[in-house]
Chain A
Amino acid sequence: MGFEHADDAAVYQLTEDLAIVQTLDFFPPMVEDPYLFGQIAAANSLSDIYAMGAEPKTALNIVCFPAKMDVEILGQVLRGGSEKVVEAGAVLAGGHSITDVDVKYGLSVTGIVHPKQVYTNRGARPGDVLILTKPLGVGIVCTAERVGEASPQAMEQAVKSMTTLNKYAAEIIRKFPVHASTDVTGFAFLGHLHEMLGEVSAVVYTEQIPHIPEALEYAAEFLITGAAQRNRNHLANYLDFGSNVEFAMEELLLDPQTSGGLLVSVPRAVGEELVAELSKLDLPAAIVGEIVERKAKEIMVR
């Protein structure tokens, strides 16, 4: 793919009709439960493969684990991870572990795709609509949980979203014409949207953003993260927030997501139909904006 643009994974063409897609991601726990953490980390690692339009085939574990910690906990992390790999239809082929002061876990995943059917995050055109397949706010909710402020319902929604594979959304999206695709993770909705733009601009409709309702409350209570502020600083020159956009909504759009949804740019004509199909899945999906001709600001949040 080259390095000019920040795509989600590395693509290498093997033959005329076969390319491999490789990705690697690992991080420290964002939830208490080791089994859930394993599931989330794996769903997150697999997500880049789906964002590229590929199908995961093999996965390798990457593990950092303290020598003094109960190894049973590690067992639960790996069990969660391997279950998600199986659900994805891939094979867990091994891995590597080292001792470290903190727990970290993730996977390196290899997938396959037809070289002509690779989705990249470039190619969005004016007249496209933007569709997001998971609710935003999991970062804020996990932050609130860390300081004991999250409600069980909010946390439940966050966990459900994070453990859901993007596989199911990807299978639906594949049946539609896709101009650009990515997944929403650490750089937040606006950061990943920014990577799709450049030659074109986008308008984001805040009233249509799928989100965990409590996330807005927590953001308004300033349960906000350093990472979101770093995203804000990084994107400052590209963003234009309308006067109707409240502070909590800004934070939601800048909130780093773990195992977030797919963000795709598709022709307006198929937007409604794609959302209708996606809505048959368990998580809220919606048209969250549109691509317009290049403007002074890259992203206009309204």
Chain B
Amino acid sequence: MKKTVDARGLDCPLPVIEAKKALQNTEGVLEVIVDNEIALQNLEKMAKQMALSYELKTVSADQHVITIMVDGPQEAGQESPSSAGQGDKTVVVISANEMGAGDPELGKILMKSFVYALTELPQLPSKVLLYNGGVKLAVEGSDSLADLKKLAEQGVEILSCGTCLDFYQLKSELGVGSVTNMYEIAQSQMEATKVIRP
């Protein structure tokens, strides 16, 4: 089934509001026509936020069309199949940028491969908590940044201790996830079904 909303002549936010209304009772494809590119970009943001797939087409300077696939793959979970299950709250706690005690150089290599290994696990943790030296893994220039980003994209929460970022003066360098506090660090571990400490 295809539905069309002609929102030409309407100012933002009305095209988006009309589209949102139409989405509620559309199955199949929704086509929205607008007369300016800014409105098209706002519709694109909406589709993106709602995780709907879409196509954009500019017919002429005052005719732009977004085609939104309503029964697209978003329900089927195009998200990673490996995200931790609802009940399972495995939390990985990383408190240093080295793994194990011994040679620091080796410790760093081990930590890098540990974080990489996490990304390859069939069952991902629900959270990775980083504190003290651990926050150094989540900042720009870290060897593990790409792997942590990969985890974040798959729905793993990456939380770095704010006090620690401040202490090492790395707050502006944080490249992945969000900043957390000791309360959340404690609570996450209390609620965890498993806590993994490399």
Contact = CB atoms under 8 A, between A and B. Distances in A.
A302 B42 contact: no
Contacts of A292: 172
Contacts of A221: 20
A302 B179 contact: yes
A300 B174 CA distance: 9
Given A147-B17, A233-B41, A302-B179, A226 B36 contact: yes
A229 interface: yes
Interface stretch (B7-15, B100-108, B125-133, B183-191): B7-15
Most buried by B among A223, A225, A229, A232: A229
Interface string A175-206: 00000000000000000000000000101000
Contacts of A232: 41
Interface residues of A, number: 24
A201 B149 CA distance: 23
A12 interface: no
A230 interface: yes
A242 interface: yes
Nearest to A218: B13
B177 interface: yes
A222 B178 contact: no
Contact of B176 (A203, A224, A229, A243): A243
A235 B166 CA distance: 28
| Contact-residue size bin, chain B (C-beta under 8 Å from the other chain) | 20 to 34
A243 B171 contact: no
A203 B41 CA distance: 26
Interface centre among B20, B36, B178 (most CB of A within 10 A): B178
B171 A302 contact: yes
B172 A225 contact: no
B14 A243 contact: no
A124 to B, nearest CB: 14
A89 B42 CA distance: 42
Contacts of A229: 12, 38, 41-42, 45
Contacts of B16: 222-224
B42 A226 contact: yes
A225 B171 contact: no
Contacts of B158: 243
Contact of A225 (B13, B36, B152, B179): B13
B13 A143 contact: yes
A186 B75 CA distance: 38
A254 to B, nearest CB: 11
Given A229-B41, A302-B179, A242 B174 contact: yes
Contacts of A201: 172
Interface in A209-231: 221-226, 229-230
Residue of B149, B152, B171, B176 with most chain A CB atoms under a 10 A cut-off: B171
A222 B41 contact: no
A11 to B, nearest CB: 33
A292 B140 CA distance: 15
Interface in B36-68: 36, 38-39, 41-42, 45-46, 49
A247 interface: yes
Contact of A247 (B45, B178, B179): B45
Contacts of B178: 242-244, 302
B170 to A, nearest CB: 11
Interface of B: 11-14, 16-17, 20, 36, 38-39, 41-42, 45-46, 49, 149, 152, 158, 171-172, 174-179
Given A221-B20, A222-B42, A224-B12, 4 more contacts: A223-B13, A229-B12, A243-B149, A302-B178
8 contacts: A201-B172, A222-B13, A223-B17, A224-B16, A226-B36, A229-B12, A292-B172, A302-B178
Closest 7 CB pairs of A and B: A244-B178, A226-B12, A203-B172, A226-B38, A222-B16, A229-B38, A222-B46
